[in-house]
Amino acid sequence: MDAANQPNEDPDQPEFSGTLTLGGLEQVLGFHLRLANVAVFQDFQATMSGLALTPKQFAVLELIDNNAGASQIDFAQCLRMDKATMMALVNKLEGRGAIERRPSQVDRRRQELFVTEEGQRLLVEAKALRQGHEARFTDRFSEAELEQFKAFLRRIYQDGRTLPRPPA
Amino acid sequence: MDAANQPNEDPDQPEFSGTLTLGGLEQVLGFHLRLANVAVFQDFQATMSGLALTPKQFAVLELIDNNAGASQIDFAQCLRMDKATMMALVNKLEGRGAIERRPSQVDRRRQELFVTEEGQRLLVEAKALRQGHEARFTDRFSEAELEQFKAFLRRIYQDGRTLPRPPA
DNA sequence: TATTGTTATACTCTATAACTATA
DNA sequence: TATAGTTATAGAGTATAACAATA
């Protein structure tokens, strides 16, 4: 159907001790995407284990810092997650004193989110750790390659073209 | 610390109804990687909902098909997952009759995995559905771009350079 | 009616630890 | 001793559904 499906080059070795044949999987973009994501995620967790901060928590913390006063739903939409999921995440960040909720004066349904001073310290520490983490991957690329790589990734998720059902 | 942290261009709009400022996050490779992964994952699930096949299940099924007789641990290592996680996945595929375990004659600890005829039919159906799914993303790229994109992703995960602690 | 936040709940994915049978 | 498989379990992440307050 697609490219070469080459048979095992060494038929006397049925033990598969080392590498497996990827076959058609080799052509599947999402397959490579997921493996890359796993590799980065695992390194991130190992790097941040001292701070107990997941990539998503870090992202939300940084987003709140860059958009002080926005609401949970704003952040949830930006990161493509459910509002209930965001709720749990915000609870955790608030529970450790990194952020705080303040009821909006304009729309009393909304809770505006802000990074606390404690959160600022956490952010500084986390950003420092992230530099090492990032470098471990980015130093495999030239500056130009890196820009193109990010542009490719953006092209995948940018428009909501593939996102299923805007909630009815 | 890094690039421009431009303030809100329209200070009269504190509602953040639309887009948020990504700030430093914009420079973080893992951030783009995760969003792209989410976009592809969600489209995959929507596409495969009729077959109730997750990306990982599909990958394992196809891997078994391409490497008939390999063991669970071989597949787990290939996909960077734990043997217990693979166990659950293999149970599910076996439960729906898509694969079968056969005890190895050479090493009686091992269970060799094979795709059944039922599994072959599932694979054919799934591959057909995947074509549409894949095209929804790949048609945003030229052939050359796609190859480079995959090469970039491979560069991220290929060597285990970043994988933490080979189990002591 | 629609939206924001909230709670409760359930389901999936994942890894850890402990066990067995083999090697 | 080490490895393959297995089981039990617990944690994190996720979404769904229902509800209250507000718009």
pLDDT digit string (tens) for A17-76?
Answer: 457 999 889 999 999 999 999 899 989 988 988 898 999 999 999 999 999 999 999 999
A157 contacts chain B (CB < 8 A): yes
Cβ contacts of residue A155 below 8 Å, gap of 6+?
B140, B141
> Which residue does chain A place closest to B156, by CA atoms?
A36
Measured between CA atoms, how close is A148 to chain B, in angstroms?
A: 9
Taking CB atoms and an 8 Å cutoff, what residues of chain A touch B43? Answer: 162-164
Residue–nucleotide distance: A153 CA to C18 C1' (Å): 42
Residue A42: the pLDDT is 87
Indicate the residue of A20, A38, A71 with minimum beta-carbon distance to B67: A20
Give the closest nucleotide to A52 (alpha carbon vs C1').
Answer: D12
Residue A46: the pLDDT is 87
Cβ contacts of residue B75 below 8 Å, gap of 6+?
A20, B60, B63, B64, B67, B86, B90, B113
Residue B145, pLDDT > 70, answer yes
Cβ contacts of residue A5 below 8 Å, gap of 6+?
A23, A24, B66
Largest CA distance in chain A: 74
Average pLDDT over every residue of A93-118: 95
Residue A158: the pLDDT is 82
Its pTM stands at 0.83
Interface contact A33-B37, CB threshold 8 A: yes
Q: Which amino acid is at A14?
A: P
CA atoms of B134 and B150, how far apart (whole Å): 13
Q: From the centroid of its chain, how far is CA B87? A: 17
Interface contact A127-B24, CB threshold 8 A: yes
Q: What is the pLDDT of residues B21-34, one digit of tens each?
A: 998 899 999 999 99
Which protein residue's Cα is closest to nucleotide D3 at C1'? B109
Q: How far lies A142's CA from each of A128, A139, B23, in Å?
A: 22, 7, 22
CA atoms of A31 and A113, how far apart (whole Å): 36
